[in-house]
Amino acid sequence: MMYRLGISIDKNWASCVLVDAGNQIVATADGSGNIGVTDTIVTLLRRLFADKEITLQEISHVMIATNCALSRLQDSEQLSRVAVIRLGQASDSLPPLWGADETLRQELGLWCGRLKGGHEIDGTPSFGGGPSIADTERLLDSIQLEQYRSFAVTGIFSPVNKEQEIRIGSWLHQLAGEHTNVTFSYELGGIGFMERENAAILNAALSLRMRADFEGMRERIRCFGLQAPLFFVQNDGTLLPFDAALRQPLRLYYSDFSGSLLGGLHACGRKDAIVIDVASHEIRIGMLENGFPKERRQGQRTAGVRLNLQIPDVVTIAWRRGESVGSRLIELVFHAIQRFQPHYDRLPLIFVGERSQQLVSSFTYPWAEVFVPGMYRTVRAAGACIAPVGGTVDRMYWLEEMSEEQALASAQEEAVSVAIEAGAEPESVQVLSVQNIPLAYVPSKAVRIKAKAIGRLPQAGSPIGV
């Protein structure tokens, strides 16, 4: 029999779980994370496999849920300086990362340069032509390249036509060195320029530090003897392959909380529920919607800036270790729960996390079922084990040469292809959702379509939704 290994890790708490092909938990280990991320992983793995008849060769996949990206941004810790390149934006536009905390802006040492380029809404190049390698070289000559190892490239309507961003990336590697880190905005955000650029900047700021963190995790896991493929839980509750996580760490911003939500589903079998994750220093409340993290659909802000990125809708309440469960804390939790509760058919509450017993013993909520699963301390790692592989498409289509039905079919086919490329078994992949989103202030021939497909990993039991 083959097994999956789930790992949840942050600076304060860590857990490991082994799950069999039937999604049954066969072994767990958990403990403090204060000895360092990589050392904690090895310590827990030793405990997990001690006196077990399961061999390391029987582990088919390793799934990790982590809050490393969140911690780095919140603390403005060891972030890279970022050079921002805009294609086609006017010179009097708002500066990059407008609205961010000044500490973060100073940490990133933001520099912004502009090149000709960008596209029209139908994907054709904007008036004035595209960028040239000569202009790119002159732009790089105007900055101190040794201070910038990370670039964020954003072009107008690049989700419709990514060619210019890719071309700039190729020139940056040629002119600034092949190890230059380049983030393309078309891979991260939606249609809006500022939100997409913000995502690209934050991703570029994280990439080098997170690459070192993730490769450190992989090295210790490999040295322990585990050779199975590695995946990370991403913000939408699906799995991201290791190499993709190196390029796009911002997709893991709420990785550990998504693991908590999925773990609540694994523990109680409720696809629609409110999950209260009581961690060592904070309480986070979110919602399962048809078995996946409910997405924050409006007013998304990360590190103080607007984004158009798939992230869970979450309410966070600070609760320091050693602090008692007072009436003020209970009231804050109650109001956060009410924010997610529908007016009728009240959703069950699932308390998870290492301090959940301490909170739930003082919390009364007679209007819905309340669950505290026995696996509450290891729920994030369990959630990682049952996450499916996902493929998401969010882009604009120009209905000049195709019908709306053809555009919808194309988006679904692409989402399926992305899921298969990420590691899903082709025969298991199915389209989970497809949305045709109206666009304001643009011609009627343009449509925005979001499609999501999910599937299971080879040799794995059926994850949620599959």
Average pLDDT over residues 402-414: 94
CA 247, chain centre distance (Å): 12
Same domain, 358 and 410: no
Is there a domain that residue 72 lies in?
no
Of 385, 406, 427, the residue at which a domain comes to its end is 385
Cα–Cα distance between 390 and 284 in angstroms, integer?
24
Is there a domain that residue 290 lies in?
yes
What pLDDT does residue 101 have? 82
Alpha-carbon separation of residue 386 from 7, 9, 254, 382, 465 (angstroms): 12, 17, 17, 7, 10
Average pLDDT over residues 19-26: 92
Is there a domain that residue 225 lies in?
no
Cα–Cα distance between 300 and 362 in angstroms, integer?
32
Same domain, 352 and 368: yes
pLDDT digits (tens, 9 = 90+) for 142-182: 998 889 999 999 999 898 899 999 999 999 999 999 999 99
Of 42-46, 49-53, 365-369, where does mean pLDDT reach its minimum? 49-53
Contact indicator for 189, 307 with CB cutoff of 8 Å: yes
Same domain, 370 and 396: no
Residue 433's domain comprises: 388-455
Q: Exposure pattern of 313-331 as b/e (b: 16+ CB <10 Å)? A: bbbeeebeeeeebeeebee
Average pLDDT over residues 296-302: 74
Question: Predicted confidence band at 463 (pLDDT cuts at 50, 70, 90)?
Answer: low
Tell me which H or E stretch contains 358.
Answer: helix 356-360
Identify the CATH number of the domain in which residue 128 sits.
Answer: 3.40.50
Cβ within 8 Å of residue 81, ≥6 positions away: 108, 109, 110, 111, 147, 148, 149, 150
Is there a domain that residue 233 lies in?
no
Of 385, 420, 436, the residue at which a domain comes to its end is 385
Same domain, 416 and 450: yes
Share above pLDDT 90 across residues of the chain, in percent, rounded to a whole number: 67
Same domain, 142 and 54: no
CA 257, chain centre distance (Å): 10
Share above pLDDT 70 across residues of the chain, in percent, rounded to a whole number: 95
Same domain, 262 and 368: yes
**Largest Cα span, the chain:** 69
Question: Predicted confidence band at 37 (pLDDT cuts at 50, 70, 90)?
Answer: confident
Of 3-7, 14-18, 294-298, where does mean pLDDT reach its minimum? 294-298
Identify the CATH number of the domain in which residue 320 sits.
Answer: 3.30.420
3-state secondary structure of 217: helix
Residue 98 reports pLDDT greater than 90: no
Is there a domain that residue 237 lies in?
no
Contact indicator for 84, 197 with CB cutoff of 8 Å: yes
Cα–Cα distance between 238 and 391 in angstroms, integer?
8
Same domain, 62 and 19: yes
Question: Predicted confidence band at 33 (pLDDT cuts at 50, 70, 90)?
Answer: confident
Same domain, 34 and 17: yes
Same domain, 100 and 155: yes
Q: Per the structure block, which two tokens stand in for 12?
A: 């304060």
3-state secondary structure of 169: helix
Question: Predicted confidence band at 459 (pLDDT cuts at 50, 70, 90)?
Answer: low
Of 367, 385, 403, the residue at which a domain comes to its end is 385
Is there a domain that residue 227 lies in?
no
Tell me which H or E stretch contains 31.
Answer: strand 25-32
Same domain, 394 and 380: no
Residue 406 reports pLDDT greater than 90: yes
Please tell me the total count of domains within the chain.
3
Same domain, 63 and 150: no
Count, residues in the chain: 466
Residue 462 reports pLDDT greater than 70: no
Q: Is 230 left (phi over 0), alpha (psi -120 to 50) or beta?
A: beta
* Mean pLDDT, rounded, of the chain: 90
What pLDDT does residue 92 have? 67
Is there a domain that residue 294 lies in?
yes
Is there a domain that residue 84 lies in?
yes
Residue 441 reports pLDDT greater than 70: no
Cβ within 8 Å of residue 457, ≥6 positions away: 4, 60, 61, 231, 239, 389, 423, 424, 425, 463
What pLDDT does residue 191 have? 78
Residue 465 reports pLDDT greater than 90: no
Same domain, 116 and 53: no
DSSP E strand boundaries for 234-371: 239-241, 273-278, 282-289, 292-293, 301-302, 305-306, 315-318, 349-352, 370-371
